Structure formats: structure tokens, C-alpha cells
């Protein structure tokens, strides 16, 4: 069996997408071009996420140790690959300018590079459930963190529109994506259940179907 899928990312036009695998492999579909990968190379830690440059002409891969691998027009702005982290890194978000990025660890610690500003984190707080992902606001002046119970943490100009943190979920949340306006977001659970908040519309889900594998993310 091949390496598990770590991340799904859409092309900025919506006419394609990329999948990356835990061993650093990248598969491109539609308008999305292949700019390179880490497949076949020895990695210190598995790849856990991928972020796409706003032009669509490059991408970053993120390792669980905070190592960053840059391809195409996506520039390298720094990493934590040479630091000892308290908890593994789980997610990444690009700055809308393409000149920086954030990543987040499972304890909610946030690391900002390039022109991505630091607006706060949960790294000093004991969380009920681990953080599993993050997303940037359209302005790049804020971000959301999401935990696997659907708890939402908003920083900077990111607004809180609701969460599932107080609900009992059938399956854990694995990712989130904001609406283009930044005035809403969707959460997805690993059974394909979708939770829509703010101006995010509900267009259906897989939550009531039997799927052969686990959903690992959402793109809009």
C-alpha cells in the first residue's frame, strides 16, 4: 500500500487540486501543475500538510517536525525543523501575499514566518482536545485554529462564527476552510460530516454514508 494522503489543496482558480502524501509525494490534477516533491527522499518526519502559493505556481510541504519544503514559486521563509518542539506540527496556512506562512502544533502553538504576523495561540493553555488545523483570513491579519472536537479559536481579524466544541460528534474534525469573504467557514469530520458557520452554505456531506476510507480535509 502507498503512503497515506496527508493533505488536499485546491488550485486558486478552483480548476484543479493537489494531494500530498505522508512520504512527501505530490499528485496534481486538473489545472494544478507538478512542481516537485520529496518522494523517494529520506524525511526526518512525515509530511502532515501542504499549502499552495496564491499564484498557484508553487507549494510548500510541511513535516511534523516543522520542516518546510518549497517548490515552484513558493519561497522558503523558515522552519522549525532544527528545533525540538513540545508537540508535533499538524497544519499550515499561507499568507495571502505568498510572502509568508504560519503553522500550528497540536497544542495550538503557532509559528509565523516571512510577513505572516503572530496574533496569538493556545500554546500556553491546556486544551481539551488537540488542534488539527488552521486557516488564514483573506487579509492575512488573522487566523483560525480548529481542534478535533470542532472547537474554534480566532485571532487577529478572524471572527468567531460558531463551533462544535460543545457538541458530541460521531467522528473527530480533521480540517477547516474559510469562505472567500472570511465571514464564515466549514469544518469537516473524518466521516465526511460537514459543519457550516457564518456565510458558509451547507451543500451536502458524506456524514450519512458509508465511505471506504477516512476523509482528511476540505477545500472550497
pLDDT digits (tens, 9 = 90+) for 50-96: 999 999 999 999 999 999 999 999 999 999 988 899 999 999 999 99
Residue 125 pLDDT > 90: no
Res 2 pLDDT > 80: no
Q: Answer whether 64's CB lies under 8 Å from 48's CB.
A: yes
Q: Report the pLDDT averaged over residues 103-121.
A: 98
pLDDT of amino acid 18:
98
Residues 196-215 have pLDDT tens digits of 999 999 999 998 888 888 99
Question: Do residues 72 and 113 touch, judged by C-beta distance below 8 A?
Answer: no
Mean of pLDDT values over 140-149: 98
Q: What is the pLDDT of residue 211?
A: 80
The three cell numbers of residue 108 are 495550538
Read off the pLDDT of each residue in 127-144 and give the average, rounded to a whole number.
Answer: 97
The contacts of residue 7 (CB under 8 Å, 6+ apart) are 19, 20, 47, 48, 49, 50, 216, 217
pTM: 0.94
- Per-position DSSP letters for 2-38, written without gaps between them: -PPEEEEEE-TTSSEEEEEETTS-EEEEETPPP----
Give how far Cα 218 sits from Cα of 4, 82, 168, 215, Å: 16, 30, 21, 8
As a whole number, mean pLDDT of residues 100-105 equals: 98
- State the average pLDDT over residues 1-7: 85
Q: Calculate the average pLDDT of the chain.
A: 96
The confidence score (pLDDT) of residue 1 equals 53
Q: Whole-angstrom Cα distance, residue 66 to residue 145? A: 17
CA–CA separation, 135 vs 71, rounded Å?
A: 21
pLDDT of residue 77: 98
pLDDT at 124: 83
pLDDT of residue 35: 98
Amino acid at each position: 500500500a502507498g503512503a497515506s494522503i496527508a493533505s488536499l489543496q485546491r488550485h486558486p482558480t478552483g480548476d484543479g487540486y493537489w494531494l500530498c502524501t505522508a512520504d512527501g509525494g505530490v499528485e496534481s490534477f486538473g489545472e494544478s501543475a507538478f512542481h516537485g516533491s520529496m518522494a523517494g527522499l529520506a524525511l526526518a518526519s512525515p509530511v502532515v500538510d501542504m499549502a499552495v502559493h496564491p499564484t498557484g505556481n508553487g507549494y510548500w510541504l510541511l513535516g511534523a517536525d516543522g520542516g518546510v519544503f518549497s517548490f515552484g514559486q513558493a519561497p522558503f521563509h523558515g522552519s522549525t525543523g532544527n528545533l525540538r518542539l513540545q508537540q508535533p506540527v499538524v497544519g499550515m496556512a499561507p499568507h495571502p501575499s505568498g510572502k509568508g506562512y504560519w503553522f500550528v502544533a497540536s497544542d495550538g502553538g503557532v509559528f509565523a514566518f516571512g510577513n505572516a504576523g503572530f496574533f496569538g495561540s493556545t500554546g500556553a493553555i491546556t486544551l481539551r482536545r488537540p488542534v488539527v488545523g488552521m486557516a488564514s483570513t483573506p487579509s492575512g491579519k488573522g487566523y483560525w485554529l480548529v481542534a478535533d472536537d470542532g472547537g474554534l479559536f480566532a485571532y487577529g481579524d478572524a471572527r468567531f462564527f460558531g463551533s462544535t466544541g460543545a457538541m458530541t460528534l460521531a467522528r473527530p474534525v480533521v480540517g477547516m476552510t474559510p469562505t472567500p469573504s472570511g465571514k464564515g467557514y466549514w469544518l469537516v469530520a473524518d466521516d465526511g460530516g460537514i459543519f457550516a458557520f457564518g456565510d458558509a452554505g451547507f451543500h451536502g456531506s458524506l456524514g450519512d454514508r458509508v465511505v471506504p476510507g477516512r476523509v482528511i480535509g476540505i477545500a472550497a
